[in-house]
Amino acid sequence: MNIPSPSASADRTLPAVTVIGDINIDMVMGPLAQWPAVGTEAILPRSEMRPGGSAGNVALALKALGARVDLFTSVGNDSMGLWLREQFDDCTATIDLCEAATSITVAVLDPSSERTFLTTVGHLDQQEWAPLARAIAPSARPGAIALLTGVFLLPRLRRRYMEILHSLRGLGYVIALDTGWPPEGWTPSVVAEVQSWLGLVDHLLLNEVEVTSLAGTNNLDDAMRLLAQRLPPSATLVTKLGPRGAAGMGPEGSGHYVPAARSDIFDTVGAGDAFNAGYLSARNGGLGLMDALKAGCETATEIIARFPRNLASASLKQGVSIGETAWPTGV
């Protein structure tokens, strides 16, 4: 099912960021300091039901930034799926309908800003590549970015990832990849599988544990150098470091942006996706590594400080300023 509608406030002089991956319903609640005993109930002070999933988070954050987004994803054929689909009415979106219940994530927030996720498989393991592939047009401009995200939640796409990477490159896209965390852990076969994709990736966007696990060393500097060598020479590796910001390594050199500390952060769900939106919209607009790291961090902190998040009606343009910071270096 195709639902084309233009992003209302988007800058139409820039190419859209294409986002391919998972959306689902997020039920976020907390804080919960201690898990209840089996068979009992805990009453929590705050909650929000909202559109989520890694592709959904990125798409809504891009829209809130005033960037153009082209989303390719799916929902389940139930009332939750209908509600979820409506949340993307203001994005340009191709949303396939799967004969399954819509996937739901319950995210329970810990007072420490850690989160525990409980996710139903739902429609995610039914999502096929073919209906999305049919809808993806050649890149409108050389260098427009396509982000692949949530691969480990999408087994039918995962099996065809090499083909997907090749076909997107053939259509003229620059590829960004955020794998997220593999539910089976970084086993040797998962590491080999992901490493086999890296030669086709232009922006690899992972968090610290993902980078060290994929590289097979606990030293972050070493891990980044090892992974950077597996990417094409023109590619950039970004490591997201939670409150310590983000580090990047690529043809422009290396850098590390540390955002100002904030005490008002309650809900860090989707922090990495919000970072991706800021980083990719900066890159799509032609900005360099340092400005893109800064845009990623500022977008992430701006978004995770919001509760309820209510991104569908947010405008974050003012929150992100580019190009006025001296860059600390070193991870």
Ligand X SMILES: Nc1ncnc2c1ncn2[C@@H]1O[C@H](COP(=O)(O)OP(=O)(O)OP(=O)(O)O)[C@@H](O)[C@H]1O
Minimum CB distance to ligand X, residue 253 (Å): 19
Q: Which stretch binds ligand X (CB under 6 A): 152-160, 161-169, 293-301, 310-318?
A: 293-301
278 contact choice in Mg ion, ligand X, none (CB below 5 to 8 Å, kind-dependent)? none
> Which 109-148 residues touch ligand X, going by CB under 6 A?
113
Minimum CB distance to ligand X, residue 297 (Å): 4
C-beta separation of 283 from 205 below 8 A? no
From the list 55, 60, 8, 17, the residue with the least C-alpha distance to 281 is 17
Q: Is 272 in the site for ligand X (CB under 6 A)?
A: yes
124 contact choice in Mg ion, ligand X, none (CB below 5 to 8 Å, kind-dependent)? none
| Both tokens assigned to 182 | 């593999």
The values of phi and psi at residue 84, to 5°, are -60, -45
Question: Beta strands 24-30 and 46-52: pairing type?
Answer: antiparallel
Q: Does residue 250 sit in helix, strand or coil?
A: strand
C-beta separation of 211 from 179 below 8 A? no
Q: How many residues bind ligand X (CB under 6 A)?
A: 19
From the list 299, 13, 5, the residue with the least C-alpha distance to 144 is 13
Q: Which of 161, 177, 270, 289 binds ligand X (CB under 6 A)?
A: 270
Q: Which stretch binds ligand X (CB under 6 A): 36-44, 220-228, 265-273, 312-320?
A: 265-273
Q: Which stretch binds ligand X (CB under 6 A): 61-69, 187-195, 268-276, 322-330?
A: 268-276
Q: Which of 268, 282, 309, 316 binds ligand X (CB under 6 A)?
A: 268
Q: Is 53 in the site for Mg ion (CB under 5 A)?
A: no
> Which 57-116 residues touch ligand X, going by CB under 6 A?
113
For residue 3, give every residue at least 6 positions away whose Cβ sits within 8 Å of its Cβ, in sequence order, or none: 85, 88, 89, 93, 94, 95
Q: Tell me which residue has its CB nearest to ligand X.
A: 272
> Which 223-262 residues touch ligand X, going by CB under 6 A?
240-243, 245-246, 259, 262
Q: Report the C-alpha gap between 294 and 290 in whole angstroms.
A: 6
Q: Is 215 in the site for ligand X (CB under 6 A)?
A: no
- Number of Cβ atoms within 10 Å of the Cβ of 278: 31
From the list 310, 314, 277, the residue with the least C-alpha distance to 296 is 277
Q: Is 295 in the site for ligand X (CB under 6 A)?
A: no
From the list 21, 27, 11, 43, the residue with the least C-alpha distance to 95 is 21
Q: Is 50 in the site for ligand X (CB under 6 A)?
A: no
> Which 269-298 residues touch Mg ion, going by CB under 5 A?
272
Cis previous bond, 31, omega within 30: yes
Q: Which residues bind ligand X (CB under 6 A)?
A: 113, 207, 240-243, 245-246, 259, 262, 265, 268, 270-272, 275, 297, 300-301
